[in-house]
Amino acid sequence: MNAHEIDYVLHGDDMQCVEIELDPNESVVAEAGGMMMMEDGIDMETIFGDGDSSQKGFLGKLVGAGKRVITGESLFMTVFTNKGVGKKQVTFAAPYPGKIIPIDLSELGGKVICQKDSFLCAAKGVSIGIDFQKKLGTGFFGGEGFIMQKLEGDGLAFLHAGGTIIRRDLKPGEKLRIDTGCLVALTKEVDYNIEFVGKVKTAFFGGEGLFFATVQGPGTVWIQTLPFSRLADRVIASAPAAGGNSSGEGSILGGLGRLLDGK
């Protein structure tokens, strides 16, 4: 095995954190800002690239870092290594309400494709790169598609998604249509594409957007009930305009406004 063999425990329900137990010299790689707490004896190191220990030399690390920039992530990641004696714990927290999804890449063909903001942390040795979709329609019209992250290796990785997580194991030929923002991850066997809603009236007045993702089995997909973008839109829409008067929950104007905009 290339990736470190780590143990973990999930804590919480709607605001979860994952506690990872490291043996001496074991490491976990995480996005900057994800760490919640760690025990004495764990060393933090900032690395250049995507965390793949198989990359040799500056050029390999530069390629890994470039892949992360394309997905909108930082050039750097943080490695947490147990430099002490005995087992040590480091804990990573979810950035917003939702669930943490443990994924064992060794049981899923060594590769999982996920939304670019869903990665939380992984055992050292797991490669975090980019996955280009084949069809241009996915990139230009899918919104959430075209450039996605791919996790490759044989170790544990942890994703985070909003709300409740539904795992669907698709049979060969089984097709599912999903809101583009609700699709979290899929295994490499799943055929993924973006399709137009079809009817102009439905597209503009249905409230579901112009496009949806279609996935076809065999394979496994993970779906979230509350994408962060949807949550943020509702918060912004409910906030009073700067310098203006607030139309509160009990006001006539507020009620009329919600009636007109479908809320």
56 pLDDT exceeds 70? no
pLDDT band at 261 (very low <50, low <70, confident <90, very high): very low
> pLDDT for 189-235, tens place per residue?
999 887 776 654 544 544 445 677 889 999 999 999 988 777 777 77
Question: Using CA atoms, how far apart are residues 107 and 239, in angstroms rounded to an integer?
Answer: 45
7 pLDDT exceeds 90? yes
Judge whether 189 lies within some domain.
yes
Judge whether 15 lies within some domain.
yes
Q: Which residues does 213 contact at the CB level (< 8 Å), separation at least 6?
A: 142, 144, 145, 177, 178, 179, 180, 183, 192, 193, 194, 195
Question: Per mean pLDDT, which of 74-78, 115-119, 198-202 is the most reliable?
Answer: 115-119
Judge whether 205 lies within some domain.
yes
15 pLDDT exceeds 90? no
pLDDT of residue 3: 83
Question: Using CA atoms, how far apart are residues 183 and 211, in angstroms rounded to an integer?
Answer: 13
pLDDT of residue 120: 93
Judge whether 1 lies within some domain.
no
The amino acid present at 210, given as its one-letter code, is L
pLDDT band at 14 (very low <50, low <70, confident <90, very high): confident
Please give the sequence-ordered ranges of beta strands (E in DSSP) within 96-155, or none if there are none.
Answer: 98-104, 111-114, 119-123, 127-132, 147-152
SS3 content of the chain, % helix, strand, coil (to 5): 20, 40, 40
pLDDT of residue 239: 74
What is the average per-residue pLDDT within 248-252? 47
Percentage of the residues of the chain whose pLDDT score is greater than 70: 68
pLDDT of residue 121: 93
Judge whether 222 lies within some domain.
yes
What is the average per-residue pLDDT within 15-30? 94
Number of domains in the chain: 1
**In this structure, what DSSP letter does residue 87 have?**
-
Note down the domain range covering 91.
7-237
pLDDT of residue 234: 72
Q: Assess whether the previous peptide bond of 218 is cis (omega < 30° from 0).
A: yes
Judge whether 254 lies within some domain.
no
> pLDDT for 25-42, tens place per residue?
999 999 877 899 999 999
Question: Using CA atoms, how far apart are residues 171 and 38, in angstroms rounded to an integer?
Answer: 42
What's the chain's average pLDDT? 77
**In this structure, what DSSP letter does residue 105 have?**
G
Judge whether 260 lies within some domain.
no
Question: Using CA atoms, how far apart are residues 174 and 240, in angstroms rounded to an integer?
Answer: 45
245 pLDDT exceeds 80? no
pTM of the model: 0.76
CATH number for the domain harbouring residue 139: 3.60.160.10
Contact 1, 53 (CB under 8 A): no
Judge whether 11 lies within some domain.
yes
